[in-house]
Chain A
Amino acid sequence: MKTQIKRIAIEGNEAAALAFKQVNPDVVAAYPITPSTEVVQKFSEYVANGEVDTEFVPVESEHSAMSACIGAAAAGARVMTATASQGLALMWEMLYIASALRLPIVMSVSNRALSAPINIHGDHSDAMGARDSGWIQIFSENVQEIYDNIFQAVKIAEHPDVRLPVMVGYDGFITSHSEEMIEILEDDVVRNFIGKYKPKYTLLDVDNPIAVGPLALTDSYFEFKVAQAYALENSLPIIKQVGKEYGDLTGRYYDVIERYRTEGAEYIIVAMSSTVGTAREVVDTLREKGLPVGLLKIRVFRPFPTEDIINALKDAKVIGILDRSMVPGSFGGPLYHEITSAFYHYEKRPIAQAYVYGLGGRDITTQHIEKVFEELIDIGKKGKPNPLTYIGVRE
């Protein structure tokens, strides 16, 4: 059933806040940080005007924001928050606790660089700092996807076989502050899609007391962590299933990756978030010129959709992996590491070239991406990759 379509023009952060409003969570505990501030600001307007029944907790730090979210989620509430950059970094300790306690918290992250030097613009360093924290990580290409991903995140997080926190990323300023036309859903459609949340255990069930977060020593800690890892791995098919259900509802289908003109492509760029939009343009232009180029978008970074990615890339000659964060002292970014190690056991694999770009919000243009494709073609002729390359940096 496809529902009636309503279109509005809205900024990325406001779209996130609107999605929060339509979810109408029980508790939002949050602390402001650029470029995510408007999510909280807008949401507190909804609270002040009585448009949601949410208990809004304007905490004194991000560490407490995540701590309060943990307390609220353990008490059986549907819980959401938003942050970015230093805020996400300050939550680091609590991110691990939220996921290990299997609490379905949903958080929007307006991805931003980390200090020092302090910089408020978009890159993925914050999300990559949190990549091992056991959260599901979904990245949004544009404003529509922010809106769509948040509903899916709620459904994925609360799925009885998942019960894990989810962060929905989007590029700071580039997407958070850009106004786009999006299609929105009616409140009751959202409500039907996400359903009513039924927690498995809650602290407020005082007649059946539970202990959340006990001490686990050497004889049990490892098993807890492995169970958690399995839960994260096993969420992949559920993420796909939710993406399909959402597509049946809206016509906008979501998978964990998106192949763009990869069939028959010999040179493929792999990217995440807003850069995918830019690269799409370039692929179209070059395809018109008859060049066998393609693009692979990674929408879900955790759990890493290894098999899907291998299938999408294995027939290419050269792939260029674009990381919007760096791993100082290493030979590539996080996405490059994941993909190249995934290919280790495959005989047939493309040559992989590592790129780091766009740190601190540095622009990535269609010209940059054209140049990447030129290099990939060159590398194909040479038969071996260049060292890690920084795009658009003055050295």
Chain B
Amino acid sequence: MAINLREIALKEEKLVSGHRLCAGCGASIIVRMVLNAIDEPVVVANATGCLEVATTIFPFNAWNVPWIHSAFENAAATIAGVEAAYKALKRKGEIDREIRFISFAGDGGTYDIGLQALSGAIERGHRAVFICYNNEAYMNTGIQRSGATPRGAFTTTSPAGKAIPGKPQKRKNLTEMMVANGAKYVAQASPSHWRDLMEKVKKAVNTDGPAFLNIYSTCPRGWRTPDNSAISIARLAVETGVWPLYEVENGKYKINYKPPKGFKPVEEFLKVQGRFAHLLKPENAHILEEFKKDIEEEWKRLLSMEEATNK
């Protein structure tokens, strides 16, 4: 499973330049890392969203792999169909290649509208890797809240108003839902920790069954951050405990990053992003407290799950 950077550097790119994602978009970085980590040929299904609309504006196409987009909520069902066809044609002797199947959907297409199709595909056991590039809002329609949007964050449907300052609810824990749903391999990753991310991709594609990856994806437009900050902010998310890196293999938890000297203060992550600017004002101190509590609780729960499942 070792990742050899030199080998990867020599590989042909599978998502090539010429797409129209914003400068500094996390999604393109993630897709390149994911596809470069895989040795086998892959077929990709893509949900409607930023990644899809910006990479295939007819007659241009930035994908160097077979690719299908059909709608917003059904990337998982679509790739399930592709995988079913593959199984049938293989059984009938029409095809003998080893092929891997991946679906990419944003957090909207995964946590919310796409959840039913994703859950069904995982329950049925299709051998595919279902990837959420998680930018914590619906970006393609202009930064609306999703089930993945963290508590207190500004979006255009959870604006920071006088009465309600940002999203009142904490983010849904989709990663845990996928564990409970029975995915054989589940992980959270971040492009800031590229080796960890690529190793997880390798494990996911080599899993004989459904795998789910939740990958943190920064968005300069929606997060109100500079174009050159994708990786540094993704790293801050990990180092402040906002986005824990962990994996669950056949029910066993493993936390992949434990800060030796403890987490950095959450404020360091929040203060570099426009979407959280209001949280640092004194009148919103109580929301900041809740935000911190959400993170602590999640971390404690992860530690105890790791302990409980590795006894």
Contact = CB atoms under 8 A, between A and B. Distances in A.
Contacts of A213: 56, 68-70
Interface string A330-342: 0000000000000
Interface string A44-77: 0000000001110111110110011111111111
Given A59-B120, A63-B74, A204-B99, A76 B69 contact: no
A184 interface: no
A214 B78 contact: no
Contact of B56 (A79, A97, A204, A214): A214
B311 interface: no
Contacts of A64: 74, 77, 80, 116-117, 120-121
Contact of A68 (B41, B67, B80): B80
B57 A217 contact: yes
A210 interface: yes
Nearest to A69: B81
A220 B77 contact: no
Contacts, number: 168
Interface string B63-82: 11111111101100111111
A93 B48 CA distance: 13
B39 to A, nearest CB: 13
B6 interface: no
A276 B97 CA distance: 51
Interface stretch (B85-93, B198-206, B251-259): B85-93
A393 interface: no
Contacts of A97: 70-71
Given A77-B85, A77-B89, A60 B116 contact: yes
A60 B56 contact: no
Nearest to B63: A211
B277 interface: no
B81 A26 contact: no
B124 interface: yes
A27 B88 contact: yes
A212 B75 CA distance: 13
A73 to B, nearest CB: 8
A203 B80 contact: no
Interface in B145-172: none
A75 B71 contact: no
Q: How many interface residues does chain A have, given as a range?
A: 35 or more
Contacts of A75: 43, 81-82, 85-86, 89
A208 B207 CA distance: 26
B52 interface: yes
Contacts of A55: 84-85, 87-88, 91
A323 to B, nearest CB: 31
A76 B97 CA distance: 15
A214 B19 CA distance: 12
Given A72-B82, A217-B57, A63 B67 contact: no
Contact of A74 (B41, B82, B116, B117): B82
Interface string A117-142: 00000000000000000000000000
B119 interface: yes
B157 to A, nearest CB: 22
B84 A63 contact: no
A296 interface: no
Contacts of A94: 70-71, 74
Contacts of A54: 88
Contacts of B58: 214-217, 220
A384 to B, nearest CB: 48
A71 B45 contact: yes
- Which has the most chain A C-beta neighbours within 10 Å: B63, B64, B69, B85? B85
A203 B68 contact: yes
Interface of B: 41-43, 45, 52-53, 56-59, 61, 63-71, 73-74, 77-89, 91-92, 95, 97, 99, 116-117, 119-121, 123-124
Given A27-B84, A71-B80, A77-B85, 14 more contacts: A59-B124, A60-B123, A61-B117, A64-B77, A64-B117, A67-B71, A68-B80, A69-B81, A72-B84, A76-B89, A94-B71, A213-B69, A213-B70, A214-B61
